[in-house]
């Protein structure tokens, strides 16, 4: 039988409990676990930052919508006050006489505004509005022919106010959901496919507005007003 001190010497090199190899292995495992946890926390932080940017953009959009509704309300009140003043001045015979030049100018301006607004909106509402505005313009033209310039300006102004309200409505409706770029760099393309030319690049965290979704591609608009397409895997 081996002496006790010899047996201890024989067992130690073969990985006895509390050996340096075990301590190193345990430390390495702890280090790897800490690294994994750090990576997980970094991903969570990035995700939360993207969500925060998206939420802020959505709140800004809601503020724009509220401002637009308030502007419409104020415009409606202004129209009502204007109509009341017109009735009062007509009854009193105190309406200011307009010149032919002012009437022709007012009609020309409303025609230009009509072209811009109607071309931007192809809905049934826009077609109905266009028909109503055309009637006002035609009435104004007839009144100019009859040298009733004051009434001509009145109808031209009515058409202009209608178009301005519609223009504000359209601006609110094009405001879609907010999307935030979730990769380091995303290509902004000219169409819904990688075959289209790259118009520019969107950096990580940039917020864009969604206009439509076509397959796997979002049609978006940047804050600077640039339209383009970005793959849905690059935003959230």
The mean-pLDDT minimum among 1-5, 61-65, 161-165, 193-197 falls in 1-5
pLDDT for the residue 216: 93
What digits encode the pLDDT tens for the residues 56-108?
887 877 777 777 767 777 777 777 777 666 665 654 454 556 788 888 999 99
Mean of all residue pLDDT scores within the chain:
78
pLDDT for the residue 88: 56
pLDDT at 187 over 90: yes
pLDDT at 51 over 70: yes
Q: Give, rounded to a whole angstrom, the gap between the first and last alpha carbons of the chain.
A: 74
pLDDT at 11 over 80: no
Please indicate, yes or no, whether residues 168 and 184 belong to a single structural domain of this protein.
no
107 within domain boundaries? yes
Distances (CA, A) of 122 to 118, 119, 129, 175: 7, 7, 11, 17
pLDDT at 4 over 60: no
Pairing between β-strand 217-221 and β-strand 207-214 as defined by DSSP bridges: antiparallel
13 within domain boundaries? no
CATH of the domain at 205: 2.30.30.40
Please indicate, yes or no, whether residues 75 and 182 belong to a single structural domain of this protein.
no
pLDDT for the residue 129: 77
Please indicate, yes or no, whether residues 57 and 165 belong to a single structural domain of this protein.
yes
Please indicate, yes or no, whether residues 119 and 212 belong to a single structural domain of this protein.
no
Q: Which domain holds residue 129?
A: 50-173
Please indicate, yes or no, whether residues 103 and 85 belong to a single structural domain of this protein.
yes
Please indicate, yes or no, whether residues 105 and 202 belong to a single structural domain of this protein.
no
10 within domain boundaries? no
Domain boundary among 126, 157, 173: 173
Please indicate, yes or no, whether residues 145 and 189 belong to a single structural domain of this protein.
no
Q: What is the mean pLDDT of residues 192-209?
A: 90
Please indicate, yes or no, whether residues 96 and 169 belong to a single structural domain of this protein.
yes
pLDDT at 15 over 50: no
Please indicate, yes or no, whether residues 161 and 191 belong to a single structural domain of this protein.
no
Give the DSSP letter of residue 2.
Answer: -
Q: What is the mean pLDDT of residues 22-38?
A: 78
Beta bridge partners of 178: 209
How many CB atoms are closer than 10 A to CB 235? 22
Please indicate, yes or no, whether residues 70 and 106 belong to a single structural domain of this protein.
yes
pLDDT at 178 over 60: yes
Please indicate, yes or no, whether residues 190 and 156 belong to a single structural domain of this protein.
no
Please indicate, yes or no, whether residues 150 and 195 belong to a single structural domain of this protein.
no
Domain boundary among 173, 190, 212: 173
């Amino acid at each position: 039988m081996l002496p006790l001190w010899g047996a201890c010497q024989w067992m130690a090199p073969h990985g006895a409990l509390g050996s340096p190899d075990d301590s190193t292995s345990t430390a390495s495992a702890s280090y790897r676990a800490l690294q994994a946890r750090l990576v997980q926390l970094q991903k969570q932080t990035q995700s939360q930052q993207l969500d925060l940017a998206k939420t802020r953009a959505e709140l800004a959009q809601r503020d724009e919508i509220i401002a637009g509704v308030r502007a419409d309300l104020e415009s409606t009140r202004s129209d009502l006050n204007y109509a009341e003043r017109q009735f009062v001045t007509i009854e009193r015979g105190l309406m200011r006489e307009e010149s032919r030049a002012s009437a022709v100018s007012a009609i020309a301006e409303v025609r230009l505004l009509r072209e811009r607004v109607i071309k931007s909106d192809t809905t049934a509402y826009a077609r109905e509005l266009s028909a109503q505005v055309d009637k006002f313009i035609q009435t104004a033209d007839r009144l100019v022919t009859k040298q009733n310039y004051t009434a001509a300006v009145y109808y031209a102004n009515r058409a202009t106010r209608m178009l301005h309200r519609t223009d504000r409505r359209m601006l609110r409706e094009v405001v879609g959901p907010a999307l935030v770029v979730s990769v380091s760099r995303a290509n902004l393309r000219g169409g819904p496919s990688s075959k289209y030319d790259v118009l520019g690049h969107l950096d990580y965290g940039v917020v864009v507005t969604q206009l439509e979704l076509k397959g796997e591609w979002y049609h978006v608009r940047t804050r600077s007003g640039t339209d383009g397409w970005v793959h849905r895997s690059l935003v959230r």
